[in-house]
Amino acid sequence: MAGGYSLLDKNYADPQFGKATPGKIAMWIFLVTDAMSFSGFLLAYAVLRSSKPWPVPAEHLGIALSGFATFILICSSVSMVLSIDACKRQDRQGMLKWLMATIVGGAMFLGIQVYEYTHLVHQGLSLSHFINGNDLFGSTFYMVTGFHGLHVFSGVVYLICMYVNAQAGNYDNGRYGQLEVAGLFWHFVDLVWILVFTFIYLL
């Protein structure tokens, strides 16, 4: 077109368009279906909260501590990006350093969640509320946060496997494809937690 350019012009085409690996496509499909599961849980929480008497979350949950855990998880997303970037630059030590920082961040988040669960049980909000379903607040809280915690634990194990492979030299010479797929999962886990923290802890 005169005075402009065509979207199909090779000079302006996205060099990554059409180059998604099967692993990346499979991860995106998994994340879309997983997002539906979290959406269902959060929607159920919203419906139950609006139709039943509901306690004030701040009176039972450690907002400040959970906010710190949220900050750690966000920082771990940044370190994951830096690890992939180091891999692209063939900086093996940088890749390992930032990947380990991501693993430590995920482990710290899980530690805080275990501490929070222990504190809630001592307050009387035990896991029996979830098992027996006799307290909707307790049941939905443990369901949503526990399901997310399972994802974080799976992500930490996943990243440890990536770290072992990285030490073995499997991602040298800029081969960052598998790290990028792992990063997609980790960023999804972080994004979901921001939504969970907002819905359950803050609203």
Closest CA to 75 of 55, 97, 101, 54: 101
Nearest residue to 180 via CA among 24, 30, 74: 24
CA geometry: angle 154, 160, 161, nearest 5 deg: 90
User: What's the pLDDT tens digit per position in 163-182?
Assistant: 998 888 888 877 788 888 99
pLDDT in the model for residue 83: 92
Question: Regarding the domain delimited by 34-202, which CATH topology (the fold level of the hierarchy) does it fall under?
Answer: Four Helix Bundle (Hemerythrin (Met), subunit A) (1.20.120)
At 126 the pLDDT is 63
DSSP readout, 118-177? HHHHHHT--THHHHH---HHHHHHHHHHHHHHHHHHHHHHHHHHHHHHHHTTTT-TT--H
Query: H-helix or E-strand containing 178?
Result: helix 177-196
- Terminal C-alpha separation, the chain: 51
Q: What is the pLDDT of residue 157?
A: 96
What per-residue confidence (pLDDT) applies to 11?
52
Question: Domain spans of the chain?
Answer: 34-202
Tens digit of pLDDT for each residue in 141-159? 888 888 999 999 999 999 9
pLDDT tens series, the chain, 203 aa = 444 444 445 554 444 445 667 778 888 898 899 899 888 888 888 888 777 677 776 666 778 888 899 999 999 999 999 999 998 888 889 999 999 999 999 999 999 999 888 887 777 666 565 555 557 777 788 888 889 999 999 999 999 999 998 888 888 877 788 888 999 999 999 999 999 898 888 87
Measured CA to CA, the distance from residue 108 to residue 198 in angstroms comes to 20
Q: What is the pTM of this model?
A: 0.81
Helix (H) or strand (E) holding 80: helix 63-88
